[in-house]
Amino acid sequence: MHESDVRYGAEGREMVGFLAFDDEKTGSRPAVLVSHEGPGLGRHSRDVAKRLAVLGYVAFALDYHGGGAPLAMPDAMERLNQLIADPSQTGRLALAGLDVLLSEPVADPRRVAAIGYCYGGVVSLELARTGADVKAVVGFHPGYTPPRTDDSKKIRASVLMLSGTEDPFATVEQRNAFEKEMREAGVADWRIELYGGIGHSFTNPDVDALNIPGMAYDSRADARSWDSMIRLFDEVL
- What pLDDT shows up at residue 98? 98
- What pLDDT shows up at residue 210? 82
- What pLDDT shows up at residue 212? 85
Chain segment 7-44, per-residue pLDDT in tens: 999 999 999 999 999 998 888 999 999 999 989 999 99
- What pLDDT shows up at residue 195? 98
| Statement: the pTM of the whole predicted model exceeds 0.85 | yes
Which residues in the chain come in under a pLDDT of 70?
none
Chain segment 66-98, per-residue pLDDT in tens: 999 999 889 999 999 999 999 999 999 999 999
Q: How many CB atoms lie within 10 A of CB 6?
A: 19
The CATH architecture annotation of domain 2-236 reads 3-Layer(aba) Sandwich (3.40)
